[in-house]
């Protein structure tokens, strides 16, 4: 945790944050989807798994999930960059607790967007092994968020984060914003 606290103390320029986001974007928007498609094709051949084809539905469901998930992920990054004065990159965390934009609806909208987008790719290509790989990725990502990131946010933002955590769902969003007069669950 000390390393995370040290990273959080540094202030980064917008240029530094954009460069970090560029490298992260190359990985999550290009390299990982490419690896997902290539590795799932290899696994499908190795296990002799058929592709599932729902005709045009593969394309429609896949595109809806990719576009929706991509939008949610990019919106989350934009809010972290502008309001939080940081990035989703652990070495350049937000300087402020972000509770606006998509973070109003759930605490991990970028994770939800990532899950949706990669699941969309899996549907698009009709691969059972791609779906399995995405599920493994999401389990690993959720474990990291629960075991590492939430503790670091508690250390860094204290009671402010604990209140946000108590009032905001972990992953599946509330579709309606809670007003201050609504009772806390």
- Token digits of residue 160: 């402010």
Average pLDDT over residues 82-106: 90
Task: Quote the mean pLDDT of the chain.
Answer: 89
Cα distance between residue 18 and residue 50, in whole Å: 41
pLDDT at residue 176 tops 90: no
Q: Which domains does the chain have, with CATH numbers?
A: 2-167 (1.20.120.1630)
- What is residue 155's predicted lDDT score, i.e. its pLDDT? 92
Half-sphere exposure of 103 (CA within 13 A, CB side): 17
d(CA 161, CA 155): 9
* Distance (Å) of CA 59 to CA 53, 63, 67, 91, 95: 10, 6, 12, 37, 40
Residues 125 and 101: their CA atoms lie apart, in Å, by 31
pLDDT in tens, 24-73: 889 988 999 999 999 999 999 999 999 888 789 999 999 999 999 999 99
Instruction: Enter the tokens of residue 135.
Output: 């599920």
Length of the chain: 185
Q: For residues 148 and 181, give the distance between their C-alpha atoms in angstroms, rounded to a whole number.
A: 32
């Amino acid at each position: 945790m000390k390393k995370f606290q040290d990273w959080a103390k540094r202030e980064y320029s917008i240029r530094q944050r954009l460069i970090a986001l560029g490298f992260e974007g190359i990985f999550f928007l290009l390299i990982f989807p490419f690896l997902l498609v290539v590795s799932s094709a290899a696994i499908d051949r190795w296990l002799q798994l058929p592709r599932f084809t729902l005709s045009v539905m593969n394309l429609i469901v896949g595109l809806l999930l990719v576009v929706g998930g991509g939008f949610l992920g990019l919106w989350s990054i934009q809010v972290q960059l502008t309001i939080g004065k940081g990035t989703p990159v652990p070495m350049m965390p937000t300087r402020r607790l972000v509770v606006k934009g998509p973070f109003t609806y759930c605490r991990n909208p970028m994770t939800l967007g990532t899950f949706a987008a990669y699941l969309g790719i899996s549907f698009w290509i009709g691969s059972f092994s791609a779906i399995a790989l995405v599920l493994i990725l999401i389990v690993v990502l959720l474990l990291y968020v629960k075991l590492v990131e939430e503790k670091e946010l508690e250390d860094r933002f204290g009671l402010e984060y604990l209140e946000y955590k108590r009032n905001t769902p972990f992953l599946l969003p509330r579709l309606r914003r809670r007003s201050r007069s609504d009772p806390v669950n």
